[in-house]
Amino acid sequence: MKKLFLFSLVILFAFRPAEKQVQVFLIGDSTLSTKKPGDAPETGWGMVLQDYFVSENVSVQNHAQNGRSSKSFITEGRWKAVLQDLKPGDWVFIQFGHNDQKDKDTSRFTAPNGEYRKNLIRFVKETQAKGGKAVLITPVMRRRFDEKGVFFDTHGEYPAAVKAVAAELKVPLIDLHAKSGEVIKTMGPDASKELFMHLDAGIFSRTPKGLIDDTHFSVYGAAVMASIVAEGIKNQIPDLAKSLKHFGTTDKYVYELPKVLVPVFKKDTFNILSYGAKSDGVQLNSPAINKAIDACSAKGGGTVLIPDGFWLSGPIVLKSNVNLHISKGALLQFSDNYDDYPVVKTSWEGLDAVRCQSPISATGVTNIAITGGGIVDGAGQVWRSVKKDKLTDGQWKKLVASGGVLDKDQRIWYPTEKSFLGNNTKGAGNIAAGYNESNVAEFKDFLRPNMVRFTNCKKILLDGVTFQNSPAWNIHPMLCEHITLTNLTVRNPWYAQNGDGVDLESCRFGVIDNCTFDVGDDGICIKSGRDEEGRKRGVPTENIIVQNSTVFHGHGGFVIGSEMSGGVKNIFITNCNFLGTDVGLRFKTARGRGGVVENIFVSDVNMTNIPGEAILFDMYYMAKDPVPQPGEKNELPVMKSEPVNDGTPQFQNFHIRNVVCKGAETGIMVRGLPEMSIKNINIENAVLQSNKGFVCIEGENINLKNVSFFTKDKTVMQIQNSSKVTMDGIKYSEGRDLLLNVTGDRSKSIKLINTDEKKAKKAVQFGGNASEKVFSRN
């Protein structure tokens, strides 16, 4: 009988129908309707809304139509068609008003407090009669500014009528009218054009002469408006809010993510062959390439084509509206002749400096791209110094035999005497140290440039290209906005000093997606200037997404700092792999930097073979490799309190979830300053196999939940001078000598809950003036 009962349960659950997918019907006008492919780039916000839902739970059915009012939507039978498909539990989102205003068109016009109101009531009541649920949405704003730049509304009494009906019938109201108006006003007369259809001539086939349309949305504008609707759902409709899509497994929703503008270009193509370029590896093609770029930009933009072949070049300067397309079979090889690179004002590691001109650069331009499947090589081997400890004996002997200069200890190789002199001259090239373009000739070879350097640029796309062998950092946008890096391969020798993959410095709104890095320094790095100069600039890096990317080698996989003096905030990272990086997630700073790093959201990160820390928060950055070379050792810092001032950095509000690391020296290290602890760190659902487990020094409000430490060290966790540290559901290897060691007379409020302490010979130990009173169990 028992077996029969169990068998019945199996049958019942096996054939139980899947949970019902809820449908959200959209009815309204062209501001939310689905467009035809030929209408691009016009986009209704209803086309984007599905992207903000988990598709298995919610299906958006967009029935909105161009040019319809509440009246014509009914008279044409479109509302009847929606009702026929509507099932109990489905939703209807209702947004009309734009075309109801057309008082000269009797087929569409409705008075706001007359027929318009009656139609809205009809939509709601007939939805409810079918078992559905209605949501009223006020008309979305048009973009209207007067001659003085003052924004004004064109909708009259229609929004108020929607609000009145929603209040009367007690249905949810999303005030898209007010919220979209706030966005437009905040962006201002110029920037708000990006929300709408402001198109230059010759880019899209439907608008050969260009277009100015302040009613209908661009892809970017539609995403912004759909986010307002999603926010309304989150705040007012809990049943639907449960199906809003999260960014990875963070607590942030996809609709909350930064919206990034992507450049578009005219169809015209400018082949560098037409400007005298030769693919022979001998001719310097920078004059031809720059001529093609200038001609392309002067004619309104388009594509400058570098076809298959070997193209030797000096510095290239991009101009507005130019897509530099490097064909899949093309190698853009930059010159190894120092004389080809003039000295220019720029920055170096967050400080104003003079350096040699970058192989690829742009300043103060808009709408630029480097695309294609080709290779860009920066000839970095003639610029970089190399440490003996980073090479095999055979490699070192070969390098020394090639020429160059050795230091007095015969441990560092420099490519030239000028490079050696610069490396040993304090502040060489820094403007604050008194250097300018005219007084650095004696050590010019030392002034190696970053390979791709964009300054004060907007709307940047790098797609599909391989960037390798850079003199210093590979890709360096500074003070730029709306940056998209996708499908890139970025490579440097593992011993390359300052051979970072990408450094976003004082940038806003960016995406790094589906990129691969294998470099000599930090892989993906976020910066914002250094020390007092960075604080005076005061421009944080903010609103950046990093996803679906891999770092094979580097000092850090994903890194913030150490030059973060302007601040860093609102950074979102998910679905990344770090294989063999010295540190996985690396957050570094030092006294003197100042700046605040906050609101960092990380999820779904995999790591393996990490010689240093899997997750590191460190306020004692020493400008050294994070893992000592053979024969070297990293001295522990002296942890003495100093006065808090403008140069005191701050780390706070980090949220890290779902991390797996197989092999690291330390699982998690938090190392703050006595005068400024690291605050509000939340790490949840992590499995860390490492020598050491958790080390927390000068931390405050540090929360670990469901973290597993499989360590070689007999002590699993160490806490020193930290407060409000909660360890919830900690798992660890059996047979440990000590689960937790608490030291320091400033340790307070240490909690260990939901943890099996029987695996350890001793659960908790106190030392260094730490009191047992600071500790509590569940």
Element at 609 (helix H, strand E) = strand 596-618
d(CA 331, CA 249): 40
Sheet holding 405-406, edge to edge: 386-387, 412-414, 405-406
Kindly tell me the burial class for residue 336, based on how many C-beta atoms sit within 10 Å of its own C-beta (0-12, 13-18, 19 or more).
Answer: middle
CB atoms within 10 A of CB 122: 13
Q: Please say whether the beta carbons of 368 and 264 come within 8 A.
A: no
555 is catalytic: yes
Kindly tell me the burial class for residue 534, based on how many C-beta atoms sit within 10 Å of its own C-beta (0-12, 13-18, 19 or more).
Answer: buried
Q: Which two tokens stand for residue 534?
A: 């960075």
Residue 242 CB-half CA count within 13 A = 6
CA-to-CA separations, 36 to 41, 44, 59, 677, 759, in angstroms, rounded? 10, 11, 20, 55, 64
Q: Which two tokens stand for residue 548?
A: 């679906």
Rounded to the nearest angstrom, the gap between the alpha carbon of residue 28 and the centroid of all alpha carbons in its chain is 34
Q: Please say whether the beta carbons of 293 and 271 come within 8 A.
A: no
Q: What is the 3-state secondary structure (H, E, C) of 277-311?
A: CCCCCCCCCHHHHHHHHHHHHHCCCEEEEECCEEE
d(CA 151, CA 144): 6
Q: Please say whether the beta carbons of 615 and 659 come within 8 A.
A: yes
153 is catalytic: no
d(CA 134, CA 368): 44
Sign of CA dihedral 36, 37, 38, 44: positive
Residue with tokens 């009656």: 118
Residue from 500, 521, 522, 713 carrying the catalytic annotation: 521
* DSSP-based three-state secondary structure for 531: helix
Q: How big is the CA angle at 546 (ends 477 and 457), to the nearest 5 degrees?
A: 20
* DSSP-based three-state secondary structure for 467: strand
Q: How far apart are the first and last CA of the chain?
A: 43
d(CA 649, CA 353): 23
CA-to-CA separations, 626 to 125, 437, 474, 587, in angstroms, rounded? 66, 34, 20, 12
Rounded to the nearest angstrom, the gap between the alpha carbon of residue 677 and the centroid of all alpha carbons in its chain is 26
CB atoms within 10 A of CB 579: 16
Burial 606-624 (b: 16+ CB within 10 A, else e): bbbebebbbbbbbbbbeee
Residue from 63, 155, 325, 555 carrying the catalytic annotation: 555
Q: Which two tokens stand for residue 673?
A: 């300053």
Label residue 339 left, alpha or beta by phi (over 0 means left) and psi (-120 to 50 means alpha).
alpha
Q: What is the 3-state secondary structure (H, E, C) of 63-82?
A: CCCCCCCHHHHHHCCHHHHH
CA-to-CA separations, 622 to 12, 561, 618, 667, 764, in angstroms, rounded? 63, 12, 10, 20, 32
Catalytic residues: 521, 555
